[in-house]
Structures are given as structure tokens and as C-alpha cells.
Amino acid sequence: MVTYAGKLVLAPMVRAGELPTRLLALKYGADLVWSPEIIDKKLIQCQRVDNKKLRTVDFVAPGSSENKPASVVFRTFPEIEAGKMIFQLGSSNPQLAVQAAQVVIKDVDGIDLNAGCPKHFSIHSGMGAALLKNPDVLCSILTSLVEQVGKPHRKPISVKIRLLEDEALTVDLVKRLCGTGISNLTVHCRTTPMRNRQAPIRDYIPAIFNVCQEHQVSLIINGAIQNRSHFLQVREQMGLSDKVGGMMADCAEANPTSFSSSPLPWHGAVRAYLSIADRFDHSVNNSKYMLTRIVPGKSKFYQYFTRCKSMNEINHVVSLMSEDGQPLGDPTEYLVDCRERERIAKKQAADKKSQECQAKATITQNSDSDRKRPVDADLDADHKKIKSA
């Protein structure tokens, strides 16, 4: 069973925490990685697919129409992630949480319940940080996950929370959470209204850690941890046990190699990220998102990447990047040509589809006419017979 104590881990991050980011973080020293939060109802409808080409395990949601085809909701690469992959679940219902967790539990190393995200997509259905206002529901979900998923599969169940209004309320909540049988508690050291630009509140951590120790629950702290050396410094300055772990979010999003004592510069991280994204046929949209997080906003490459619409275009832009991150040329003409080729291709495709539709309509019309002729002829013959009689 995976252990969390003392580990430095990658935070669950929507969009940023997809497979290439996780693999890059692991390559450069992350001890564990969290998946992005995935909502229970979305996960329940997924089918498990053993992707032979990529050697991944994919969880695929069915498409609803031609414009909305089947999509990969979660992808894991067991050769590297096995023993280090924690799946974060979004839920506000014990039954749905258990049903969803059962879908992935054999392919991950733990289930983490999101009870800390303050974003609308989490809290609008009573999930994420909204669960902090409903501790009975929160504890019910955790108890159900522990008893019906964790214990049968010998996998740990954990939860990620934020601080409440004061230390006493927070500690009381932690006592209840630890009593559910969870294996790990992650505390984002900010309250729900606080944003990441605000300094974290770490004063409550010693009291929280004492409660966790009493229940044999490990503790991970999250909030403004910059890299491994900074995490060790924070832990030492606070006099915390080396059993306390750390979770990196924003800084790991900006550079997934920052788990290393010698992280790559941003342009090195870009190349390392893209080598993994190409290897796993990663989507261009998510790749662009991550590149705009890694590349400094003042760099010309930031604008270049935002204009790309395919992985080929992204790789062409990277080919014009020097070893120190300076442009060796301007890809604008190439990108414009790609836009024109794309426009022509779309027009040709639209014209072809229009011609096919017209041809189909003509065939249908002729077929209808052919069907009518014998009937009309029979009616005329019958009419003549009637007249002659």
C-alpha cells in the first residue's frame, strides 16, 4: 500500500495535471502524483480501454453526437505511474462516490476526495470546498469510500481540505475526518475565500499534525511551496516532523521539473514536456495550455504557442528555439501558411460534403419517382377498365 508520510507530491490540478505533466514531475523527483479532479457522474459512464499502442490504460466517455465524439477522461501509464498514482474524485454523494471509485480503483494507488477546491465547477453541486460546510456529508462519503472501496482493494482513501475560519473549527473538523478511517489528510493552508496570491496560513499545522498522529493518519501541507529545498526549509523553520509531506501546485504547473534539486530552465522544461506529449498523442489544446504556463509571458514564444493549432505547428515553433530559449527565427509565415492550408482544406471538405448531400438527394428523388410510376400506371389501367365497362 502506498504511503504518504514525508513525501513531496504533485497537486491535483484541472487541465494542468494530465499525463505528460505527471510523468515529467515523476521523472524529476515527485514522490507521488495526483490526477486532476474528475466528477463522479462523468467517471461512472466511462469504459476502461487497454490502449495497446500507447501502453496506457484509458477511461473513455462515450460520444453523444458526431460533433461530440468519445473522449479520454483519464489516462494513466502504469509502467511509470504504478505505485505513485492518486486519483482525485469530485463528489457530494456517498453512493455515487463509491460507484465512481470502483471504476478506476484497480488502476490507481489511492482515491482522494476533493473537499478544498473553491472554483465554481466544483462547488456548484455541493462538491469541493462546499463539503466543508456539510461535514456530515463529507464524513459519510469518506466512510463509504473507506469501507466499500479502500478496505476491499487494500488501497488508501484520502481527502484534501482547506482551513476553516479559525484553528479550533479546523482542528474539530480534522478530528472528524481522521475518525472516518482515511489514510492521509492534505491541508491547503488557505481558507476558501483566499486566493493563491495570498500568503498561506501555516500556524494551524502543528495542532492538525497532532490529531493526525493520534489517528495514524499522514499529513501533507499545500500552499506556496516552491520546490524541494523550499519545502524542506519550511518544514525545518516550523519545527515539523519529517513525516509531514508537501504538495506543490502553482510552481509545479509553471515548471514540473521543480521537484528536482536542479530543475530545468523553462525552455528545457518545454522540450521535456513536449517529448512526453508527443509520445502519448496528447491533445494540442492541453499541450498549448501547459506551454502557456511554462513559458514566461514576456517571451516571444508565449505568443507563438498561443497561435498554434496542431502539434506539428508547436514542434516547428520549438525547432526555432535556441538552447537558451531565444528565437532563431520567426514562425509567423509558417503559421500563416498553415492557416491558409487549413482554410482551403475546410472549404474542400465542405464542398465535398455539399456535393455528397446533393447527390444523395438526387438519388432519393429519383428513387421516389421510380416507385410512383408503377402505381400511377396501374391506376391509369384500372381507370380505363372502369370506363370501358
Q: Which residues are catalytic?
A: 117
Q: Is 289 helix (H, G, I), strand (E, B) or coil?
A: helix
Could you tell me which of 221, 31, 214, 177 has the C-alpha nearest to residue 109? 31
Q: Which residues contact 370 (CB under 8 A, 6 or more apart)?
A: none
The cell numbers describing 133, all together, are 460546510
Cross-strand bridge partners of residue 213: none
Q: In Å, how far are 33, 45, 74, 241, 242 from 29, measured between CA atoms? A: 10, 34, 22, 21, 17
Amino acid at 386: I
The cell numbers describing 22, all together, are 505527471
The cell numbers describing 355, all together, are 456535393
Task: Name the phi and psi angles at 41, rounded to 5.
Answer: -65, -35
Pairwise CA distance, residues 169 & 226, whole Å: 28
Query: Terminus-to-terminus CA distance in the chain, angstroms?
Result: 96
Could you tell me which of 250, 260, 252, 256 has the C-alpha nearest to residue 228? 260
Could you tell me which of 52, 47, 59, 48 has the C-alpha nearest to residue 19? 59
Could you tell me which of 72, 77, 49 has the C-alpha nearest to residue 61? 72
For cell 524529476, the residue is: 28
For cell 504547473, the residue is: 253
Give the number of other CB atoms < 10 A from CB of residue 351.
Answer: 10
- Name the region of 324 (left: φ>0; alpha: ψ -120 to 50; beta: rest): alpha
